[in-house]
Structure 1
């Protein structure tokens, strides 16, 4: 009997199959041709059947294809079946499945995908081994006088093909070697599977081109790489386009701050107002802060170095409070605050011992401390004590138990955005307490009064947010969230009936502590609207989960359009011609930035759903909702690509383990 007619008995994962030699070998150069020709050693069971340790259900589908040249894909996991086809080398079926998989994905993203900012084509590098012009910038559009920078004005939402693809998207052969399998994995910088085979200088280049930080203010965003920052502007007619680029920094950029002025004028280093100085960029490296002003209303764009400032300790937070630049460090007893004031052009630093958290409201900067005190600096009064080098740090409130304050959120009622007399503050402590203090008109002159205390957390509170409708708190136990609905009367917190519990859920994130400042889960959003969490489960992933902060419900799932891992993200509120947009801005390891318009999805997810019960009654939005994080199947898939042994997992404090002061 010829080989073609010989019966082959198989034991696949404990399930027995019988087929012909011809059926298994009509596709050349497969696992089966190698097996039956003796090039692969065989293992046989007690009956003599060839044992193959694979999934019998998926093997049955592949065997049926080999028999009939056809396949039924109803209720089939295409990706898993394709993986088996690749294992067995069944190329005809694998190609069909690849096309089916491509039908579910697009390099143009889904309906929420809003824009793509490609990596800079001419990559500036620091002075060690790079070619720079006099400004430390290798861009062709840089000029040598005064550090002026002319804009490339590259339209990024509809970027030309060369910007989006040249030197960035690998071939299909490269993708298959990476195990990506289809053309969505479109970033050279994402080829982490080749890291061990790449020369060290290429790894350095890839790390240097990874987006480290992304910030936004109004319709501007700043994308920070290891040694330089690129600024973009959004207009309805042009979309996103490049406006400016910072000089190249010899030291690694650790923090940035962006301020887009709306008044049409600003101050230069000489103290004079320069019409059109509408963007200011601060960059921090170690204890040093550099501040630039950009005049973007003329060609070329003019860049002016306002100054270089030294905080004395490593800068941990860099932000603008109005036009003032603030640098903070919470290094225990050596905590410091530094402020550059736009009208005086003066930089001041002051010790603010045991600084542990902060928030802003109007012209106020509130500082929570490890001693249980809440202090504040009023930036409008900043110049009054300039000669004494006094930032006017004033104590506002002291926790009744002197618990270290670890999170703080300020809410100014709508009618008092400027005067600050009607103020509400929520704060969390190291021992899990969440307190709300208020200063209403009738209590002016007496300081804030303790309004309500919640003791629902057993771990340190890491985040708290007080908005018009909700109070949100997050603790260190894998980002465990508690939320309450806030009852208001005439815009102020009402004492009757008070807050009511809303939801409890976790926003799991297995991220190294050093990466968390640029991968902050939130909550994000204005205080008069629905806020959201951004959940990045594992460090090296292309998938983010957007969830409502009030109840944890999933708004949507965001996946990188090119398969590259997300390195940092934030939410930006951008003005549009018709309505404001809430954009999710993602920086990627490939050096690109991707944007997603969440406005409609959040509105839809936040709408109350009336569910009619069998007895005719209706359940409103307070009905229990399922957790909106990754499902068990999604979580397993994410973790399968993550080395948990190498990932620092945050350890929640134990009641039996002493807590150390920061």
Structure 2
């Protein structure tokens, strides 16, 4: 009898199957053709049947497809079945299942998708390493004089097709790392990919073109790569489009700060730059470079304000009003540096044992390892100076002198009228969360201790005090506690007092070095519902948006091109009708993608309607289910993640952004 008619007996995971040679081999180049031709060694059971150590239920579905060329997918886990098809090499069925998966994912994104910015195409890299970019400009042109033409304005209309076609298509190894490992090209059979290790120069190019940091201010965003920064502006008529590009930096960019609508001022060269409307700070090690961009002229004028040295590595770079502030918390060598817009003067000063910071109007508040909360009033420069140093004033001292590791300032609505109405929440290394207040009746005595919570057993890494909630996060895998705040005439009140609301985790397995640009939050204005952004594993295209008050999932975000998210931030961007709360993501492919979270947050923040029978009682909230990844989603994410590269323990999952390690 020929092989064509021979019966083949199989033992798959303990279940026996009998089929013909032809049924198993009509699809060429599969596991079965290799098995039956002898290219793969066979193992047989006591009856002589070929043993295959796979799931018999899924194998039965595949065998039925080989017999009938049809399949019933009712109540079938398509992801698991597709995995088995890939293992056995059943390409026709695998492509069909891939297209089924494609129905749930579109390169145009979902209703929340707001825009796509491709990687810049005309940028050189230092040391002559231009990678695969044939249109790179020379480094000489990239580092021209202080006043020069910025990058050409490349129009980037939201969701337009040309943006996606210009952007580089992610490689297959990138797709496999992000958890889905699928693209439309793969569905249609275009599976050509590079095999083996890539040349070192290609890997270097990919790392240089990965988005490292993304920042936003008003309707501007700055996208930082390894050696340069690109700036975009949002208008209702044109969408996002490129306005400026920084010169290529010799050293790796570690921090950036963006400030729009600066109001101008004299430059270091004495020229009037009243047209300046954007300022960009770039930090590399201890050095800070400050650039001003005058976008009201054609071509765009780019001016180097100056290069400043903090003396130690810059760990935080931010604007407080028009003033640029650089902070470092390297133990006893903690320093603060300020560049003032009007005086064009750079000042540095030691601020011993700096651990954390927050801003409130023109005030910069600094928490220290000695338990003190200090502040600098930026509006008083240069009048209030002592020996040409920054005037750092102590505001409060922790009663137990516990090191302060997180701080949040809430300015009540009447602060602008009275000037002495302030509330501060802070967390300590020993897990305490305290609220201090200064109301009109306590003027002259400084802030008074209002409330203390000792519900955390690990150091506090984030704290947020808003109109309605107090949120704290500790270092045990971002464990969150939330309280509902009671207010009377705008002031925090003891009647009936702050009440516990929820406890949950925003698990993130990022390495500490990646955390500064993957800050989980909370994000949002203090008079509205705030949110967390959860990125579970380092190489993933999926983010979970959750309410900060109860952990409820607001929505799930997936990149439109299946590229892994390398950094993200949430920002309020101005629009024609109302500000939009946008999630801005930088990707390993070099692209930037954004989603409008305004509508889903508003919907999720609304209380559930009361149910009369068998449901929740009016005014009472049902326990919120964990809004993070489900067990199935978590296993799927972890299957594409090398857990050996994850932090070794909870102590390493400290604050992604604010606390400065003493």
- Map Cα deviations across residues 106-133 of structure 1 (whole Å, 9 max, x no partner): 1111111111110011122124556999
SS at match of 2:35: helix
SS at match of 2:303: strand
- Map Cα deviations across residues 300-327 of structure 1 (whole Å, 9 max, x no partner): 0001111111111111100000000000
Alpha-carbon distance in structure 2 between the residues aligned to 1:269 and 1:533: 41
Report how far residue 207 of structure 1 moved: 0.9
* Contact 1:127–1:136 (8 Å) recurs in 2: no
Report how far residue 158 of structure 1 moved: 4.2
Report how far residue 151 of structure 1 moved: 4.9
* Contact 1:116–1:594 (8 Å) recurs in 2: yes
Query: Residues 387 and 426 (structure 1 numbering): CA distance in 2 closer, same or farther, change over 3 Å?
Result: closer
Report how far residue 617 of structure 1 moved: 6.1
- Map Cα deviations across residues 347-381 of structure 1 (whole Å, 9 max, x no partner): 11111100000000000000000000000000111
Query: Residues 144 and 33 (structure 1 numbering): CA distance in 2 closer, same or farther, change over 3 Å?
Result: closer
Query: Residues 291 and 376 (structure 1 numbering): CA distance in 2 closer, same or farther, change over 3 Å?
Result: same
Report how far residue 216 of structure 1 moved: 0.5
- Map Cα deviations across residues 213-247 of structure 1 (whole Å, 9 max, x no partner): 11110000000111110000001111100000111
* Contact 2:357–2:659 (8 Å) recurs in 1: no
1:341 alignment counterpart:
340
SS at match of 2:195: helix
1:438 alignment counterpart:
437
Q: Which stretch shifts more, 161-170 or 538-547?
A: 161-170
Alpha-carbon distance in structure 1 between the residues aligned to 2:64 and 2:508: 42
1:511 alignment counterpart:
510
* Contact 1:170–1:187 (8 Å) recurs in 2: no
Greater RCO (Cα-Cα under 8 Å, separation 6 or more): 2
Query: Residues 657 and 318 (structure 1 numbering): CA distance in 2 closer, same or farther, change over 3 Å?
Result: closer
1:29 alignment counterpart:
29
* Contact 1:13–1:51 (8 Å) recurs in 2: yes
Alpha-carbon distance in structure 2 between the residues aligned to 1:510 and 1:176: 18
Alpha-carbon distance in structure 1 between the residues aligned to 2:380 and 2:428: 29
Report how far residue 4 of structure 1 moved: 3.7
* Contact 2:485–2:497 (8 Å) recurs in 1: yes
Map 1:26-175 to 2 at 5 A: 26-127=26-127, 138=138, 146-158=146-158, 164-166=164-166, 168-169=168-169
Report how far residue 62 of structure 1 moved: 0.7
Alpha-carbon distance in structure 2 between the residues aligned to 1:321 and 1:239: 28
Query: Residues 488 and 579 (structure 1 numbering): CA distance in 2 closer, same or farther, change over 3 Å?
Result: same
* Contact 1:222–1:231 (8 Å) recurs in 2: yes
SS at match of 1:407: strand
Q: Which stretch shifts more, 154-163 or 380-389?
A: 154-163
* Contact 2:426–2:434 (8 Å) recurs in 1: yes
SS at match of 2:145: coil
Alpha-carbon distance in structure 1 between the residues aligned to 2:654 and 2:363: 32
* Contact 2:517–2:656 (8 Å) recurs in 1: no
Query: Residues 122 and 160 (structure 1 numbering): CA distance in 2 closer, same or farther, change over 3 Å?
Result: farther
* Contact 2:108–2:159 (8 Å) recurs in 1: no
Alpha-carbon distance in structure 2 between the residues aligned to 1:136 and 1:147: 21
Q: Which stretch shifts more, 267-276 or 28-37?
A: 267-276
SS at match of 2:159: coil
* Contact 1:610–1:621 (8 Å) recurs in 2: no
Query: Residues 475 and 169 (structure 1 numbering): CA distance in 2 closer, same or farther, change over 3 Å?
Result: same
Alpha-carbon distance in structure 2 between the residues aligned to 1:651 and 1:87: 37
* Contact 2:170–2:563 (8 Å) recurs in 1: no
1:659 alignment counterpart:
660
Report how far residue 29 of structure 1 moved: 2.8
Alpha-carbon distance in structure 1 between the residues aligned to 2:280 and 2:338: 14
SS at match of 1:192: coil
SS at match of 2:183: coil
1:238 matched to 2:238: yes
Gap regions ≥5 residues in structure 2: none
Alpha-carbon distance in structure 2 between the residues aligned to 1:357 and 1:246: 29
SS at match of 2:175: helix
Alpha-carbon distance in structure 2 between the residues aligned to 1:140 and 1:198: 29
Q: Which stretch shifts more, 127-136 or 606-615?
A: 127-136
Query: Residues 39 and 135 (structure 1 numbering): CA distance in 2 closer, same or farther, change over 3 Å?
Result: closer
Q: Which stretch shifts more, 154-163 or 537-546?
A: 154-163
* Contact 1:189–1:591 (8 Å) recurs in 2: no
Report how far residue 338 of structure 1 moved: 0.5
* Contact 2:461–2:654 (8 Å) recurs in 1: no
* Contact 1:151–1:244 (8 Å) recurs in 2: yes
SS at match of 1:266: coil
- Map Cα deviations across residues 234-293 of structure 1 (whole Å, 9 max, x no partner): 01111100000111111111110000016x544422456423200000011111111111
Query: Residues 193 and 397 (structure 1 numbering): CA distance in 2 closer, same or farther, change over 3 Å?
Result: farther
* Contact 2:143–2:247 (8 Å) recurs in 1: no
- Map Cα deviations across residues 176-206 of structure 1 (whole Å, 9 max, x no partner): 9999653259999999996961111111111
Alpha-carbon distance in structure 2 between the residues aligned to 1:217 and 1:121: 24
Report how far residue 56 of structure 1 moved: 1.0
Query: Residues 126 and 186 (structure 1 numbering): CA distance in 2 closer, same or farther, change over 3 Å?
Result: farther
Report how far residue 388 of structure 1 moved: 1.6
* Contact 1:265–1:276 (8 Å) recurs in 2: yes
* Contact 2:255–2:283 (8 Å) recurs in 1: yes
Alpha-carbon distance in structure 2 between the residues aligned to 1:386 and 1:187: 66
Alpha-carbon distance in structure 2 between the residues aligned to 1:361 and 1:384: 20
Report how far residue 620 of structure 1 moved: 4.2
Alpha-carbon distance in structure 2 between the residues aligned to 1:17 and 1:53: 13
Report how far residue 153 of structure 1 moved: 2.3
Report how far residue 658 of structure 1 moved: 19
Q: Which stretch shifts more, 451-460 or 31-40?
A: 31-40
Report how far residue 92 of structure 1 moved: 1.9
* Contact 1:434–1:455 (8 Å) recurs in 2: yes
Alpha-carbon distance in structure 2 between the residues aligned to 1:193 and 1:652: 36
Query: Residues 43 and 194 (structure 1 numbering): CA distance in 2 closer, same or farther, change over 3 Å?
Result: same
* Contact 2:118–2:163 (8 Å) recurs in 1: yes
- Map Cα deviations across residues 610-661 of structure 1 (whole Å, 9 max, x no partner): 242535762546321100011111111111111111222345899999999x
Gap regions ≥5 residues in structure 1: none
Report how far residue 514 of structure 1 moved: 1.0
* Contact 2:474–2:654 (8 Å) recurs in 1: no
SS at match of 2:414: helix
* Contact 2:609–2:618 (8 Å) recurs in 1: yes
Query: Residues 654 and 480 (structure 1 numbering): CA distance in 2 closer, same or farther, change over 3 Å?
Result: closer
Alpha-carbon distance in structure 1 between the residues aligned to 2:660 and 2:573: 41
Report how far residue 401 of structure 1 moved: 0.3
* Contact 1:568–1:588 (8 Å) recurs in 2: yes
2:304 alignment counterpart:
305
Report how far residue 79 of structure 1 moved: 2.2
Alpha-carbon distance in structure 2 between the residues aligned to 1:390 and 1:140: 38
* Contact 1:122–1:139 (8 Å) recurs in 2: no
- Map Cα deviations across residues 423-466 of structure 1 (whole Å, 9 max, x no partner): 00000000000000000011111100000000000100000000
* Contact 2:318–2:325 (8 Å) recurs in 1: yes
Query: Residues 135 and 176 (structure 1 numbering): CA distance in 2 closer, same or farther, change over 3 Å?
Result: closer
Report how far residue 30 of structure 1 moved: 2.2
Alpha-carbon distance in structure 1 between the residues aligned to 2:377 and 2:360: 10
* Contact 1:385–1:392 (8 Å) recurs in 2: yes
Report how far residue 171 of structure 1 moved: 8.3
Alpha-carbon distance in structure 2 between the residues aligned to 1:545 and 1:507: 9
Query: Residues 184 and 377 (structure 1 numbering): CA distance in 2 closer, same or farther, change over 3 Å?
Result: farther
Alpha-carbon distance in structure 2 between the residues aligned to 1:59 and 1:255: 52
Report how far residue 485 of structure 1 moved: 0.3
Query: Residues 193 and 331 (structure 1 numbering): CA distance in 2 closer, same or farther, change over 3 Å?
Result: farther
* Contact 1:269–1:304 (8 Å) recurs in 2: no
Query: Residues 493 and 511 (structure 1 numbering): CA distance in 2 closer, same or farther, change over 3 Å?
Result: same
* Contact 2:150–2:246 (8 Å) recurs in 1: no
Query: Residues 569 and 657 (structure 1 numbering): CA distance in 2 closer, same or farther, change over 3 Å?
Result: closer
